[in-house]
A = this chain, B = another copy of it.
Amino acid sequence: MLLLQPRGALSSRVACPAHLPTFAFSSARKLCARSPAVLAAADEPARQRVSAILQSGLQMVGQEVTVKGWVRTVRSQKSFSFVEVNDGSSLQGVQVIAASDIRGYDVVDALTTGAAVSVVGVVAESPAKGQSVELKAVEVALVGDCPAESYPLQKKRHSLEFLRSIAHLRPRTNTIGAISRVRSALAYATHNFFQELGFKYVQTPIVTASDCEGAGEMFRVTTLPVQQSDKKLDDAADFFGRAAYLTVSGQLSAETFACALGDVYTFGPTFRAEESNTARHLAEFWMIEPEMAFCDLQGDMDNAESFVKHVVKYAVDHCAEDIAFFSKFQDKGLAARLDAVVNKPFARVRYEEAIAMLQKEIAKDPSKWQYPQVEFGTDLATEHERWLAEVAFGTATFVYDYPKAIKAFYMRDNEDGRTVAAMDLLVPGVGELIGGSQREERLDVLQAKMAEAGLREEDYWWYLDLRRFGSVPHAGYGLGFERLVCYVTGTANIRDAIAFPRYPGSCDF
């Protein structure tokens, strides 16, 4: 039954995209020109992406194309079969009509969900609803079969919790496939935003001996055995000659580059060894951290607002089908919320003012609040954050100038002596999405703040050097990438927003 194609016919080169942005145009032709060695072997038809065929509308009608992908559904009639083939390029598969008299129809007849196939067919206008074109098969070949009795993905709906137990197969489902595509688009839009504004990408270290915000929640990285005799271990014997950890933030490293290249950003994995088993926390997650020289807190908020608008707009424009799917099945209000983020200006409110607004609101009926006690110095709870963004301002909202006592040592002291130039971005439906600040650039003030926080200057000598030599005002922020993915896709559990989630007790796959 296995009708494997000859090896020479497998080459996957995809047709050259016609809509490369201008700067890539000159190289685009080169990308698609095979070198002479390849031309000789290139007698097989190029594989077409399903997304390209569906997007072409009626323009490709009559053309013969080759599609390779996985069977989603098969419906057999007397003299023909409908096969939906999905290749992961889009949510929707292409419908293949295979008449019983084509070459290899015995293959079609035995197809099951999950089988890999190669289809040569002619694009035709579709009489069916929800698709403009379909494929009239000329030839169908089975590439890899899929035993129906043991395949964990069936045609029915599976719970996201079940899918986590088969995380290696779940991108084959509509939901996780769509999240993966949106995640990829958001990542690219991130690079695109910063690069087009002239920011440089800095890949800050994962293994580090420093600790950005106070230890206790870091993973140790070691080549020593974790079991040892009773004697005290000598850290100097370890691989790096000292105790080393997984980074919790790239900020301090990014600051060194901002103070040389001007505007930089990082985008890399960060780690927290917290024992949190919630839908909002991961032990390993990706973080985006821009850092800008000669920038104050207002400039920081300007950039953060532009950034969020840009990446959301990019996803809405480039993943319309996936987001429509989420709006339908995962979160009815999603499309409207994303539209508001892109088109409405964000609000900005000083922390002290936000507290006053909350106090006034809570006084109306304290029983409606889980934490009715709110005053200057209170760390806002999610219910407070959501009320501010969803009710009070009805839009994404920056809260800024937080009390010094609840913020990190590196944030710049304001003139009032009790607040720092810090900001959080609160978004409707989620709460905090971004946290940022202007950094303390005055050497003496920073030294005093470090002493207050119990940090030793010798551990931060290089960080202090940035204030010793040509110090400049600078600011930045951090955005947890998986929270952004959840926000844009309406995904409730952060474990579904990353390929292979890591949390206490779990590093499978």
Contact = CB atoms under 8 A, between A and B. Distances in A.
A57 interface: no
Contact of A228 (B14, B27, B209, B227): B227
B469 A151 contact: yes
When all copies of this chain in the complex are counted, the total is: 2
A171 B261 contact: yes
Contacts of A41: 298
Interface in A10-67: 10-14, 17, 19-24, 26-28, 30-31, 34-38, 41, 47, 49, 51
A377 B196 CA distance: 48
Given A177-B261, A187-B201, A219-B239, A208 B253 contact: no
A310 to B, nearest CB: 5
A366 to B, nearest CB: 31
A313 B295 CA distance: 33
Interface in A285-307: 286, 292-296, 298-299, 301-303, 305-306
A31 B284 contact: no
Contacts of A256: 167-169, 171, 509
A157 to B, nearest CB: 17
Interface in A179-217: 180-181, 183-184, 187-188, 191-193, 195-198, 200-210
Contacts of A283: 207, 239-240
The 9 closest A-B pairs by CB, nearest first: A21-B21, A144-B471, A88-B261, A12-B295, A11-B299, A171-B260, A35-B345, A227-B233, A184-B200
A12 B263 contact: yes
Interface string A481-509: 00000000000000000111010111111
A84 to B, nearest CB: 14
A115 B470 contact: yes
A499 B221 contact: no
Most B C-beta atoms less than 10 A away, residue of A19, A302, A469: A469
Contacts of A473: 7, 10, 143
Contact of A70 (B7, B88, B210, B470): B470
A181 to B, nearest CB: 6
A8 interface: yes
Nearest to A153: B469
Nearest to A144: B471
A213 to B, nearest CB: 17
A264 to B, nearest CB: 8
Given A201-B184, A201-B188, A241-B505, A87 B262 contact: yes
B222 A499 contact: no
A128 interface: no
Contacts of A238: 226
A294 B10 contact: yes
A278 interface: no
A418 interface: no
A499 B13 contact: no
Nearest to A311: B27
Contacts of A37: 345, 347-348
23 contacts: A10-B299, A14-B197, A21-B196, A26-B313, A27-B310, A87-B262, A116-B471, A168-B462, A169-B256, A180-B202, A180-B257, A180-B261, A187-B201, A203-B498, A205-B507, A205-B509, A206-B271, A207-B246, A207-B507, A240-B283, A240-B504, A241-B504, A253-B500
Nearest to A261: B88
A105 interface: no
A65 to B, nearest CB: 14
Given A69-B262, A180-B261, A187-B201, 10 more contacts: A11-B295, A27-B309, A30-B310, A88-B200, A114-B470, A147-B468, A171-B260, A184-B202, A206-B269, A207-B283
A203 B269 contact: yes
